[in-house]
Amino acid sequence: MRFATLKDGSLDGRLVVVSRDGTRAVAVPRIAPHLIDALQRWDAVRQPLEDVQSALDAGPMDGAFAFDPRACAAPLPRSPQWLDASAFLNHGRLMERAFNTPPIPDFDTVPVMYQGASDDFLGPHDEVPLPSEADGIDFEGEFGVICGPVRMAATPDEALGAVRLIVQINDWSLRALGPHEMKTGFGFLQAKPSTAFAPIAVTPDELGDAWRDGRVQLKLQVQWNGERFGEPHGGEMNFSFGELVAHAARTRRLTPGCIVGSGTVSNVARSAGSACIAERRVIEKIDQGDIRTGFMRFGDRVRMQARFDDGRDGPFGVIDQRVVKLAEGAR
């Protein structure tokens, strides 16, 4: 199944089922008015939602309308928790060099994860207002999962079975603020503004063979101001989503709607490019002796889209955002 949330002025938006060709949608208020409600009552609403998906894909349907990704909020405009990992070890090791920090103990055996803001996610085409270019504005292309209930101390297999939906993410970062916050030992706060999501969240079966071993086996194509930046593959993820969700639930239970991110998609091969600017900068320093790429400026755009290995567009749709200066007095 494929879901999106349309902006309607409310905090949780209006849930719609999206056709598999991405052209049409239908609201399902009698089944679930918004996605968090569907996730909380998943066992009761799954079959009715599957019936709607089948009817929508079969042809004309009462109440169906043209799907407009620009009218979308994040699939979950807010969630109980947003937990982001660093599951691509190549990226993590490069970031250690970028920030000149000592190696993280047990980095290759115990997932690294932080808890980000989950109350105000950005939609796929929302502008990104930020206070200052001097903060080191960076994008980070990721994949993520939205979970159902997960018991405390769940095994990785149990945790993977709790995955309800898969999403594509742009986890915005402010690199100039990160080093200080990392050294405090309390983790990120100001360095992590609101995270953005592609318009469509999908059930794992929508990926077919590209959902394998608890990993999203898709390329994440990233463009900055219309130029290729990278297309790293999600299959190189060192920790599976089952392992990440189990790590998050080791000492707490997770409630429906918790989102767990993969961290920046990163490949060892330089030819894959990067999914964030900080990674390119440290590669430049390693390979060429100096950093040549600056961070984003106001007016810059970033575009992200997942693709299957055969070149087909992924099911999540496109993230296409512009960075703008925060207006004085803006909320």
Q: Which CATH superfamily is domain 82-325 in?
A: Fumarylacetoacetase-like, C-terminal domain (3.90.850.10)
Q: Which residue has the higher pLDDT, 101 or 22?
A: 22
Please give the Cα distance from 166 to 207 (Å, whole number). 9
Whether 99 shows a pLDDT value over 70: the answer reads no
- Give the helix/strand (H/E) hosting 85: strand 82-85
Contacts of residue 3, Cβ cutoff 8 Å, sequence gap at least 6: 15, 16, 17, 18, 35, 38, 75, 165, 200, 201, 202
Which pLDDT does position 185 carry in this prediction?
A: 77
Please give the Cα distance from 86 to 238 (Å, whole number). 9
Please give the Cα distance from 245 to 260 (Å, whole number). 7
Pick the closest to residue 17 from 56, 45, 43 (CA basis).
56
Question: Half-sphere exposure of 53 toward its Cβ, with a 13 Å CA cutoff?
Answer: 19
Contacts of residue 8, Cβ cutoff 8 Å, sequence gap at least 6: 14
Please give the Cα distance from 165 to 126 (Å, whole number). 22
| Overall average pLDDT of the 317-322 stretch | 98
Q: Please state the domain extents for the chain.
A: 2-71, 82-325
| Overall average pLDDT of the 88-117 stretch | 83
CA 11 to chain centre: 19
Taking only the tens place, the pLDDT of each residue in 183-198 is: 787 888 888 999 999 9
Q: Are 187 and 117 in contact (CB under 8 A)?
A: no
Please give the Cα distance from 140 to 86 (Å, whole number). 11
From residue 227, alpha-carbon distances to 224, 231, 279, 303 in Å are: 5, 12, 17, 10
pLDDT level of residue 56 (50, 70, 90 thresholds): very high
Strands 313-325 vs 128-130: parallel, antiparallel or unpaired: parallel
Taking only the tens place, the pLDDT of each residue in 232-248 is: 999 999 999 999 999 99
Pick the closest to residue 262 from 140, 106, 108 (CA basis).
140
The string of DSSP letters for 167-185 reads: EEEE--EETTTHHHHHHHT
CA 193 to chain centre: 14
Q: What is the pTM of this model?
A: 0.96
| Overall average pLDDT of the 220-243 stretch | 98
Whether 227 shows a pLDDT value over 80: the answer reads yes
Percent of the chain as helix, strand, coil, to the nearest 5: 25, 30, 45
Which pLDDT does position 187 carry in this prediction?
A: 80
CB atoms closer than 10 angstroms to residue 226? 7
